[in-house]
Structure 1
Amino acid sequence: MGQRYYADPQRIEALTRQLEEIGTLATTITEEFLDDIGPTITWPGTEGDFAKKAKPQEQQERQTTKETMMSVRDAIVGITDATVNQVRMMKETRDRNVEGVDRVNKRLETNGLNGDGPGGHGRR
């Protein structure tokens, strides 16, 4: 016997809402981080040997950190969007199939199995 697959769209939607909250939080944290990092640009100093040596490393670390924060944010938002789209597609497929089964059942109730009247079973 083949495997059966079961999905609960309502439960997935509930979990997706949690993902959306996490995505919003990640976006907020990233925006706050990018806003707050600006004033620290002069921390290694602007003159002297230490500033000269530390500034390139600090700029590289700053850029890497920005890119990491934005990548994490984009990944969470992307996963959430994909999950929402999959749930929507799953529900549309389910609804379309349920409607198709209902149409066939109504046709059977009206015309019978072989078109021989209501409730007909096709035997003669």
Structure 2
Amino acid sequence: MGRVAIAAVLTNTEGIILEVNPAYERVTGRCRGELVGQKPGINSAGTTVRPTYEDLWNTLQQGQVWEGALENRRPDGSFWWAHELIIPIRLGERVAGYWAMIAEDSESTARTLPDTAEKTSQTL
């Protein structure tokens, strides 16, 4: 079985990107320098309905994990669906940021995402 590269992005509580891994650069079509300091919405296709984003932020602000799919667009204009799992990072009682793991939406990557998230959250 081949390995699946899971794209990962770390943000602060305002959603500003602090760090990305090489898989995130590949899937978004953007380099680290273009991404750090921006919000993940830089990749948005503009097609996700507002209630989805409201649910995402309400869930995260309650300190809970959010999982869902968002349509995105690369700088070259190509569209891609992201299956995302966003996990709040806690320092004591407060949320200090968010760790998101993203896979291009396909049956094989969608199945591996929850297992990867569980392993990652155990190491944080």
Measured against the shorter chain, the TM-score band is under 0.3
Higher Cα Rg, which structure: 1
